[in-house]
Amino acid sequence: MANDVKPRVKVPKSAKAGEVVVLKTLISHPMETGLRKDSKGELVPRSIINRFTCDFNGKNVIDVTLQPAVSTNPYFEFEAVVPEAGEFKFTWYDDDGSVYEDAKAIAIA
């Protein structure tokens, strides 16, 4: 696992039924491209987050494929419709097989 990977998400605490809310996510990750060489001239192995998903009550909201050109500490901002109270689940998939998860509940106001 890339060391000290830490996800962060921002979800409003509540919304009206059917309202469109803005979600923001950030994860600390070096996103090593696999194209750089170290001081000895050897390739630094690729180590990136290759997929990011967000689900709401089991239903997929967004599913993103990431490529090596995405910068360090990838940040996503996107919108989702909130039909009912529930939980947003965020998942990041690392090249090395690690999976990082976070979840935030949202209430109907």
Partner 1 sequence: MKQRTIKTALTVTALFGLAFAGTAMAEAVEDTLVIDGVEITTRAAAPAHLEGALDEIRSGWLYREADTRVMQADDFDNPGMIFVDRGLDSWNAVDGTEGKSCASCHEGPEAMAGLRAVTPRVDAKSGKLMNIEGYVNDCRTTRMGAEAWGGRSDKMTDMMALIAVQSRGQLMNVAIDGAAAPFFEKGKEIYYSRFGQLELSCASCHEQNNGNYIRSDHLSQGQTNGFPVYRLKDASLTTPQGRFVGCVRDTRAETFKAGSDEFNALELYVASRGNGLAVEGVSVRN
- What residues line the site for partner 1 (CB under 8 A)? 3-4, 6, 8, 10, 24, 26-28, 71-73, 75
Q: Which is nearer to partner 1, 39 or 71 (CB)?
A: 71
How many CB atoms are located within 10 Å of the residue 108 CB? 14
Report the SS3 class of residue 2: coil
Write down the least CB distance from residue 58 to partner 1, Å: 26
Write down the least CB distance from residue 105 to partner 1, Å: 17
Write down the least CB distance from residue 102 to partner 1, Å: 11
Q: Is the dihedral of CA 68, 74, 80, 82 positive or negative?
A: positive
Q: How far apart are CA 65 and CA 97, in angstroms?
A: 15
